[in-house]
């Protein structure tokens, strides 16, 4: 590490940003850095779309130059992974594996078998296919980290989160990597809303404690409390009361107006079945179980969440490209609004500037005693100077365990099959997803092959028929 | 132990037979005992249907009196578990939990949701319901063994095998129990047939070695050999060649003529998917996976196995009752044909009269390293004097593991739910069976409740709605 | 729980204090409670020496009545465990097992074989014998907690810490118990002194983070940092520099003037051997290894720590009895000086009044991945509302592991032997202590029997010859 | 595999023999091969002393040409590991690491601290030093196997057995290696003698079953039986009766006349302490515990076993060299007496020519549930075609576990320290051996360095001071 520590401040930090051309998450991160009085340094942006990286270099430096910026970071562009990584104290990875063209196949091709995926980037046939093209990219990144920056701390934001982080550790077991996701935050905010509705108390989500266990996007809260108040019985009532109609925060936040909102009906239903709080958006949760909530588009509507179309995503990207132009040209003014993410706080904790407990995706060292060691799980961990220590999450609720364990085993098999180019294991794993239900081998194999074909350029040798 | 050992012979043995009124398996066991020159003693028959026990007492003593009998055993009737167990060196359990009336519901009620079960006694909705009524009976038996015969060796033959054995250990952890099943034998015989067809070599199944792993009725062979010949590549060809049409031994053994036969198409299909030999009849295997092989009665026919109806079972029982009459009256002559089972051989091994390796259902001490410790698994074990030592089975094939593990977790949850009367966990477990596919909660719950109702007298408090 | 939570305060708490006649630790606890603005309630003092409890009732209520007391607690005497425990939200256990008469034998009898024990209450022949009489007492306490207060949180302060906590969990697996010890604090203070000496920075021990692992009194720090400063390389220099002469804080704190002080030479020596910081007083540490530091009284002097005699302890007790008189009579004025212990802080964290990370003795759920699950270990844990979640400590340094593991196995065997009255296992375990070195069976057995004889009234049947 | 299987016979086998110049064990193996009707092929002798290999080539071919030889093997000399290994179906390793000059230091240098080692090749300071020079040799062998014969089955006979086998697996995890040792056979023969003395029954050791657990040379029998007769209670009497005087078979077998004999007093004493049968010669056993049996040469005499001097070993080697001359010249006639070893039987089992249960040294897959997975342990295993499946040994006796576990941890640390050249860990491990007792750091370090010096040419960089 080459940075300077003095009086609870760190200067001279080097951050490598892989996927540094990102329009969206990158900007939020830049603003969070600009707002932070304790850390300062350089961010090296690397992207296979180098022009996107260059545009973000401009935007980053504009953010840094904002008169209200507390900390002035320098943004540069790196031409290669080697250049980005060499000397990096931290490495952020946030990439889009291939393009929305491939994602269109992930999300929509399975519809021909009646499989409607609200997201399609984590599990289900879509998540599997996304993993097929992402894992080889992560193998390359892991090798570069091993060769050029073995001591760097790595923060991953890409989906499929679990398999991205898992690949990093499989390829370079000495890596110090973790994955961050804000889905749990949303459920914590729901608990705050519930608390306010029930007691009038206005709490921030940071003031709650929730015991987190499971895997990314299929995370469960087994305890929740606020200053001596047990929130679990309160949630039991809340779920019963709102199961029928859903809980809608109204206005812009209404699920009908947004691909990303939901009325929490799936979450409540899962609570009534299993007695623990599923802690991700309903769109994600619905993909981890049989097609209970997605049998038809009407079923989805009944459960009050949205199927995010790839049309929508393409339009959204166009909007963000436009915003990128505007930010560079000045047509849109730079602001410094915090992102609500915790990335920079975790980074500070790792520098020794204040311990922090947060949920994180790392290998299982025993924090999830019911799941295999080494599988990537999401639980709380204690972040501190150069260390992430998982916090024991206790046993998983008995009814939940088989649901989660099934995906863990599929993910472990997907990793093996994709790294090794093992077509037989890949197909067996693809078929074993809950969304595949009773789909027979013939139909399943055809879907498998068609979906591979749609992203052929990215598929490891051996997987193709 | 009260028996006498002298010169490789044991006399004065005491065997308790719970379910001693059994028509069928009991008679085979009696003949195997009569044929064995190394062991002799008394069998105490206990049955809640005491008249059935008395009839078997007569039949047993007739078998024993047969002029060709090598060993003359004495058969008596015990009035209570206590009387049967006190002083017993071995205890055989082979009961029919409740009657075919309840089994009719197990097998046929789920058909309304399109769930066709070829057996319905192990997993699936039928297997679950059978467990609901069997586990409390096994709790009672385990407590009696703990109180009256803690050192007795217990051989179980009742289904659901896994949950019966698991209950015995859960209720009395110090028990020395194991479960025997002949399904693996059938697959070994298939390998013998294949060997003969390919090489002309006629081998007995005892001469093969097969590495067995998995759980009862969903057991897998990961290696198979005969005198230096590796049978796995031979089976790969065999499966490919016969996948389309099935392998039929012809004549009386044809699958079309028997509820218990099959053409091995499911077995071959599973091999092509996973690369390991599923080692149970196709009727059983089909119940452990999604409804790939049972979507409709036509699908079943296409895969060339039979759905055993309860009508058939009732007729079969009537035939056996008739035979029982005939054996007692002398209308049917007693013969001493060996049963083909291994029970008496295992018993002899446990007495120290010759070590033996055989497949057996016992708790996992690590022999299945991928499955939870304590769960009941089926692998080979080395049987010897007062010991059963499991033989390490190695890792399960990667594609097979998630299929098996899912049932193991369901079985562990079923045990807990039924012993504790935990309705929520019971329903969640019932819904998580692969046969339930995408069945929604409303339909599922109704099926659950209707099936409980059909056997209401046997259902633990707490499970009913 | 019967207390009231309102606005980050808890009132109406019930605390049972077993060993409530304690002169010393009890008084500190009373003052800590009196100083705390967030909690209030009743403390029920229970002691087999009821007059001691009554005296503490008076002292406690005087402390509570002190004009500067922020929180006014009520102290009462309970006549029985049942009375003390019924309705208790928290239970503190701090007892002296038997008396100094028995401890005299623990500490001094082994001297005849050249075994000099600086403390004699944890491991070594003395620690074993103390366990012999303490474990049956803890069995009784655990049963009472199970019967009268199964949900109470239990804080243990008695030695041998590990075996006391372990017994509680063995006898009542559902218990919520943990053990607190301040030895680690002393080493953290040493690190603060080092930091000041090296950099001039004055830090409180709470501001450091140390990764704690091991077992009570043989605890190890594998990382230590302060606001981005890694203290491990600093300690390496510090240990090298001070190994020869020791590090003495001078004045009253000089090791020559106190049975409880040391010059840290053992600690430095262990660091040079193993590369991790042993985190207990040298007197304790020396007892866990072969007689490297205690071969003769001269060796002890050379390593600059003291052998605590029982003469000294008896004198100390007399002083404390005198102080007790004075506090009651008013000859000594009550003051409210904080104890420096963390008991009340942990209690508040468990009530939900602020999460806290601290080192604690609880069963191993995987936080020490190299040690057996279920053994009681000392690591950091996250304390929060009604939960203690161990923090993963990582692998133990390779050289340290065998030293610690040996004691863990001895402690597990001691537990079993003493609970079961298994003389053979007890003797084998006694002989396996590192302090016993090459002592032969004859000498060892005689020592064993003589030491049992010295506390015969407390020895479980079966252990005596 | 390139051999031919036909009708339960295998021809065309290739065996690589590393250490093929061995005088003694090699000759026995050659004779066992010549006597076996089921297998035939070529043995390639490789030795760094190539002339010794050439001499054995001659002797081997003479044995093979013996008129009574049933199977005629061909012996050749390989010039390199590559040549020996390429195409080898089996690989035997039996080497002398360095020479008796180095062994002289191993055995005798520690005597200056009062450490008398009866063997000095397994544990203790001597065993550690032997490991220091052997592990690098085994690293080289493992790499050669990985590169030239990854599928060969490897049989190791070299000491320190555990660390040799452990190194092979550490360096090439895919290896199929196991270690054979006849020490357990000796104890089985003792049981036969006891059986005959007590009952008149003459049994062969193969007819007994013994449950084996532990590590090489510190192996324990936890059950023993013969045809329905439990030998454990018989042994309890036998040990009590003979503990005082020892059990001596008289004549040439008397312990006083042989460095390799003993009167079993250590074995009986360990039984009285722990209730299980230590299953190695007393000379080995005494080295695994504190200096209870070896405090002085007089103590050794009292316990009635011998200290094998290196003088004796050198004389013995000279004798064997002379015999080698005589066998080549014909001065000594070739005979075909079986060796009593089981190597060729295990080899046949691995070829599929008959399953076999025997004790073997392989990594722990769970067969020793109390010891770390991956450590090399000695238990029974089922040998069959291309597989060794460990047989579950059950829990180790509680009193024995800490003794064994201590050595396992030391061995794991020794492996790491020697492979990595980690002097600090090496010294800590050396000091932690039970034989080192209370030896202080100064004396210990000097011994460590002097012993390294004595074999300097073989010591990995980094270990030297």
**End-of-domain residue from the set D181, D202, D222:** D181
Spatial distance between the Cα atoms of A422 and C363, rounded to a whole number of angstroms: 42
- Rounded Cα gap, residues C335 and C340, in angstroms: 14
Domain co-membership, B138 together with B244 = no
- Residues of chain D with Cβ-Cβ distance to B352 below 8 Å are 225-229
Q: State how far the Cα of A126 lies from the Cα of A110, in Å rounded to an integer.
A: 8
CA dist B210 and B231 (Å) reads 9
State percent of chain A over pLDDT 90: 91
pLDDT digits (tens, 9 = 90+) for A365-402: 999 999 999 999 999 999 999 999 999 999 999 999 99
Residues B145 and B246 in one domain: no
Arithmetic mean of pLDDT, C2-16 = 93
* Euclidean distance between CA atoms C408 and D398, whole angstroms: 12
Chains D and C touch (3+ CB pairs under 8 A): yes
Residue D215 host element (H or E): strand D208-215
Cβ of D445 under 8 Å from any chain C Cβ? no
C291 touches chain D (CB under 8 A): yes
How does residue A2 score in pLDDT terms, banded at 50, 70 and 90?
confident
Residue B251 pLDDT class (50, 70, 90 cuts):
low
Residues on chain B touching D392 (C-beta within 8 angstroms): 365-367, 389-392
Q: Are the beta carbons of D406 and C406 separated by less than 8 Å?
A: yes
Mean pLDDT of B261-289: 96
Is-catalytic flag, D182? yes
Q: Indicate yes or no: CB of A389 within 8 angstroms of CB of C389.
A: no
Instruction: Supply the pLDDT for residue A7.
Output: 84
Closest in C292, C398, C428 to D425, CB measured: C398
Together in a domain, D175 and D298: no
Contact (CB<8Å) D228/B352 = yes
Kindly report the nearest CA distance between residue D354 and chain C, in angstroms: 39
The answer to whether position B328 is within a domain reads no
Q: Are residues C145 and C210 in the same domain?
A: no
Reported as a single tens digit per residue, the pLDDT across B83-125 is 999 999 999 999 999 999 999 999 999 999 999 999 999 999 9
Q: CA–CA separation, D284 vs D435, rounded Å?
A: 12
pLDDT of residue D2: 79
D113 CB within 8 Å of a chain C CB = no
Q: Measured between CB atoms, does A273 come within 8 Å of chain B? A: yes
**Cβ atoms < 10 Å from Cβ of C305:** 30
> Same domain for B119 and B153?
no
Q: Which one of the listed residues B66, B108, B182, B217 is annotated catalytic?
A: B182
Average the pLDDT over C258-271 and give the result. Answer: 89
State pLDDT tens for residues C441-453: 999 999 999 999 9
Q: Is residue A95 part of a domain?
A: yes
What is the reported pLDDT for D249?
A: 74
**Tokens representing residue D55 in the block:** 């001499």
Q: Of C159, C181, C203, which residue is a domain's last?
A: C181
Closest Cα partner for B91 from B31, B168, B35, B28? B168
Domain annotation covers residue A301 = no
pLDDT the model gives residue A1: 65
A409 touches chain B (CB under 8 A): yes
3-state secondary structure chain C: CCCEEECCEEEEEEEEEECCCCCCHHHHHHHHHHCCCCEEEEEEEECCCHHHHHHHHHHHHHHHHCCCCCCCCEEEECCCHHHHHCCCCEEEECCCCCCHHHHHHHHHHHHHHCCCCCCCCCCHHHHHHHHHHHHHHHHHHHHHHHHHCCCCEEEECCCCHHHHHHHHHHHCCCCEEEECCCHHHHHHHHHHHHHHHHHCCCCCHHHEEEEEEEECCEEEEEEEEECCEEHHHHHHHHHHHHCCCCCCCCHHHCHHHCCCCECCHHHHHHHHHHCCEECCCHHHHHHHCCCCCCCCHHHHHHCCECCCCHHHHHHHHHHHHHHHHHHHHCCCCCCCCCCCCCHHHHHHHHHCCCCEEEEEEEECCCCCCCCCCCCEEEEEEEEECCEEEEECCCCCCCCCHHHHHHHHHHHHHHHHHHHHCCHHHHHHHHHCCHHHCCCCHHHHHHHHHHHHHCCHHHCCCCCCC
A chain contacts of residue B436, beta-carbon cutoff 8 Å: 290
Q: How many domains does chain C have?
A: 2
D367 or A310, greater pLDDT: D367
Look at A164-173, A236-245, C76-85, D306-315 and tell me which has the smallest mean pLDDT: D306-315
Split at pLDDT 50, 70, 90, the class of D253 is low
Interface check for C355 against chain A (CB to CB < 8 A): the answer is yes
Q: How many CB atoms lie within 10 A of CB C290?
A: 24
- Identify whether the C-beta of residue C125 lies closer than 8 Å to the C-beta of residue C163: no
CB C390 to CB A389 under 8 A? no
pLDDT at C254: 67
**Secondary structure class of D281 (helix, strand, coil):** coil
Neighbours of D, requiring at least 3 CB pairs below 8 Å, are B, C
Assigned domain for A51 exists: yes
| pLDDT reading at B1 higher than 90 | no
pLDDT of the residue at D346 = 96
pLDDT at C47: 97
The answer, yes or no, to whether residue A220 has pLDDT greater than 90, is: yes
Q: Convert the pLDDT of each residue in A32-81 to its tens digit.
A: 999 999 999 999 999 999 999 999 999 999 999 999 999 999 999 999 99
Tell me, what's the ipTM?
A: 0.94
Q: Which of D108, D182, D206, D217 is catalytic?
A: D182
Q: Which CATH number characterizes residue B75's domain?
A: 3.40.50.720
Range 385-404 of C in CB contact (< 8 A) with D = 398-399, 401-403
Residue B460's pLDDT band (cuts 50, 70, 90)? very high
CB atoms within 10 A of CB A382: 24
Asked if the model's pLDDT at residue A253 lies above 70, the reply is no
Question: What residue numbers bound the domain in which D227 lies?
Answer: 103-119+182-308+341-465
Instruction: State whether residue C304 sits within 8 Å of chain D by CB.
Output: no
Name which of C268, C371, C396, C398 to mutate to probe chain D: the one with the most chain D Cβ atoms within 10 A of its Cβ.
C398
Whether C249 has a pLDDT exceeding 80, the answer reads no
**What pLDDT is attached to residue A251?**
62
Determine the pLDDT at residue C2: 79
| Contacts of range C312-321, beta carbons closer than 8 Å, 24 or more positions apart | C312/C259, C313/C100, C313/C103, C314/C100, C317/C23, C317/C100, C320/C23, C320/C24, C321/C23
Residues B121 and B235 in one domain: yes
Quick one: what percent of chain C has pLDDT higher than 90?
91
The answer to whether residue C276 is domain-embedded is: yes
Question: CA of B309, closest CA in chain A: separation in Å?
Answer: 23
Contact C228 A393 (CB under 8 A): no
Half-sphere exposure of C167 (CA within 13 A, CB side): 28
Q: How confident is the model at residue D7 (pLDDT cuts 50, 70, 90)?
A: confident
- Whether C225 and C82 map to the same domain: the answer is no
- Percent of chain C whose predicted confidence (pLDDT) is above 70: 98
Domain-located, residue D89: yes
Whether C382 sits inside 8 A of A382 (CB atoms) is: yes
Which one of C66, C108, C182, C344 is the catalytic residue?
C182
Q: Is residue A462 part of a domain?
A: no
Same domain membership, residue B213 and residue B186:
yes
Q: What is the pLDDT of residue A259?
A: 67
A373, closest residue in chain B (CA to CA): B370
Q: What is the pLDDT of residue C257?
A: 65
Is residue B389 within 8 A of residue D210, CB to CB? The reply is no
- Alpha carbon separation from B314 to A313, B101, B111, B306, C6 (Å, rounded): 61, 9, 19, 16, 67
B274, B292, B409: residue with CB nearest A428 = B274
Chain B: list its partners (3+ Cβ pairs within 8 Å): A, D
Contact partners, residue A349, CB within 8 Å, separation at least 6:
A355, A356, A383, A384, A385
Q: Are residues D157 and D262 both part of a single domain?
A: no
The predicted model scores a pTM of: 0.96
| pLDDT, mean of residues D451-458 | 97
Provide the H-helix boundaries in A24-49: 25-34
Other Cβ atoms closer than 10 A to B74: 13
Answer yes or no: do D409 and C402 touch at CB < 8 A: yes
Q: What is the mean pLDDT of residues C456-462?
A: 95
**What chain D residue is nearest to C293 in terms of C-alpha separation?**
D440
For residues B175 and B191, state if they share a domain: no
- For the stretch C320-367, pLDDT in tens is 999 999 999 999 999 999 998 889 999 999 999 999 999 999 999 999
Both tokens assigned to B11: 């006399």
Task: Answer whether residue B435 shows pLDDT above 80.
Answer: yes
CA D428 to chain C, closest CA, distance in angstroms equals: 6
**Contact A42/B at CB under 8 A:** no
**Same domain (yes/no): C177, C111:** no
Q: How far is CA B303 from CA B71, B248, B282, B306, in A?
A: 45, 12, 9, 9
Which H or E element spans position B46?
Answer: strand B39-46
- Give the pLDDT score at A308: 85
Domain of residue A101, CATH code: 3.90.1820.10
C250, pLDDT greater than 90: no
Q: pLDDT tens digit string along D98-127?
A: 999 999 999 999 999 999 999 999 999 999
State the count of interchain CB pairs (< 8 A) between C and D.
Answer: 86
Consecutive H or E run containing D11: strand D9-18
Residue C251 has pLDDT above 70, yes or no: no
What whole-number percentage of chain D has pLDDT above 90?
A: 91
Instruction: Provide the mean pLDDT of chain A.
Output: 95
- Test mutation, C200, C392, C395, C396, chain A, max A CBs within 10 A: C392
Contact B329/A at CB under 8 A:
no
Instruction: Give the model's pLDDT for residue B259.
Output: 67
CA distance D465 to chain C (A): 14
- Tell me if chain D has a CB within 8 Å of the CB of C259: no
Would the pLDDT of D254 be above 70? no
User: Is C295 an interface residue toward D (CB < 8 Å)?
Assistant: yes
Please say if the pLDDT value at position B253 is more than 70.
no
Q: Which two tokens stand for residue D28?
A: 């026995």
Contact with chain A for residue B445, Cβ under 8 A: no
Are D and A close enough to touch, i.e. 3+ CB pairs under 8 angstroms? Answer: no
Residues of chain B contacting A441 with CB distance shorter than 8 Å? 269, 273, 292
Q: In this model, does residue A256 exceed pLDDT 70? A: no
Catalytic: which of A182, A217, A284, A344? A182
pLDDT in tens, D165-222: 999 999 999 999 999 999 999 999 999 999 999 999 999 999 999 999 999 999 999 9
**What residue in B sits closest to A397 (Cα-Cα)?**
B425
Instruction: Give the end of a domain, one of D133, D149, D181.
Output: D181
Give C66-124 pLDDT, tens digit per residue.
999 999 999 999 999 999 999 999 999 999 999 999 999 999 999 999 999 999 999 99
Work out whether strand C39-46 and strand C74-77 pair parallel, antiparallel, or are unpaired: parallel
D241 & D149 share domain: no
Contact check, Cβ <8 Å, C273/D428: yes
The verdict on residue A56 lying in a domain is yes
Mean of all residue pLDDT scores within chain D: 95
């Amino acid at each position: 590490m080459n940075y300077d520590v003095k009086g609870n401040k760190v200067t001279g930090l080097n951050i490598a940003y892989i996927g540094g051309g990102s329009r969206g998450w990158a900007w939020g991160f830049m603003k969070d850095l600009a707002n932070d009085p304790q850390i300062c340094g350089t961010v090296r942006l690397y992207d296979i779309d180098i022009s996107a990286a260059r545009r973000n270099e401009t935007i980053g430096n504009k953010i840094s130059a904002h008169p209200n910026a507390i900390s002035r970071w320098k943004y540069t562009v790196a031409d290669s992974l080697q250049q980005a990584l060499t000397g990096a104290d931290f490495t952020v990875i946030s990439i889009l594996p291939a393009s929305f063209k491939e994602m269109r196949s992930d999300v929509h091709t399975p519809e021909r078998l009646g499989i409607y995926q609200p997201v399609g980037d984590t599990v289900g046939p879509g998540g599997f296919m996304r993993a097929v093209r992402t894992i080889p990219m992560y193998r390359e990144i892991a090798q570069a980290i091993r060769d050029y920056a073995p001591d760097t701390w790595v923060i991953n934001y890409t989906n499929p989160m679990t398999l991205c982080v898992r690949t990093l550790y499989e390829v370079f077991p000495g890596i110090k990597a973790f994955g961050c996701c804000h889905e749990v935050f949303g459920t914590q905010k729901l608990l705050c809303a519930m608390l306010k509705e029930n007691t009038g108390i206005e709490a921030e989500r940071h003031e709650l404690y929730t015991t987190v266990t499971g895997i990314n996007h299929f995370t469960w809260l087994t305890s929740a409390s606020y200053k001596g108040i047990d929130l679990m019985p309160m949630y039991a009532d809340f779920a019963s009361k709102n199961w029928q109609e859903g809980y809608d925060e109204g206005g812009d936040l209404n699920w009908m107006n947004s691909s990303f909102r939901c009325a929490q009906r799936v979450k409540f239903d899962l609570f009534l079945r299993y007695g623990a709080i599923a802690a991700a958006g309903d769109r994600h949760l619905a993909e981890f179980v049989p097609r209970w909530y997605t049998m038809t588009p009407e079923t989805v509507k009944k459960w009050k969440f949205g199927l995010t179309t790839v049309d929508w995503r393409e339009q959204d990207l166009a909007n963000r490209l436009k915003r990128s132009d505007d930010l560079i040209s000045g047509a849109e003014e730079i602001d410094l609004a915090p992102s609500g993410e915790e990335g920079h706080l975790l980074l500070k904790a790792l520098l020794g500037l204040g311990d922090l407990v947060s949920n994180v995706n790392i290998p299982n060292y025993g924090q999830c005693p019911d799941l295999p060691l080494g599988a990537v799980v999401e639980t709380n961990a204690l972040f501190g100077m150069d260390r992430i220590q998982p916090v024991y999450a206790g046993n998983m609720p008995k009814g939940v365990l088989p649901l989660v364990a099934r995906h863990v085993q599929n993910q472990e098999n997907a990793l093996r099959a994709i790294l090794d180019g093992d077509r037989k294991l890949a197909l067996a794993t693809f078929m074993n997803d809950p969304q595949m239900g009773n789909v027979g081998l013939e139909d399943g194999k055809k879907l498998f092959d068609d979906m591979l074909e749609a992203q052929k350029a990215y598929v490891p040798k051996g997987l193709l028929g």
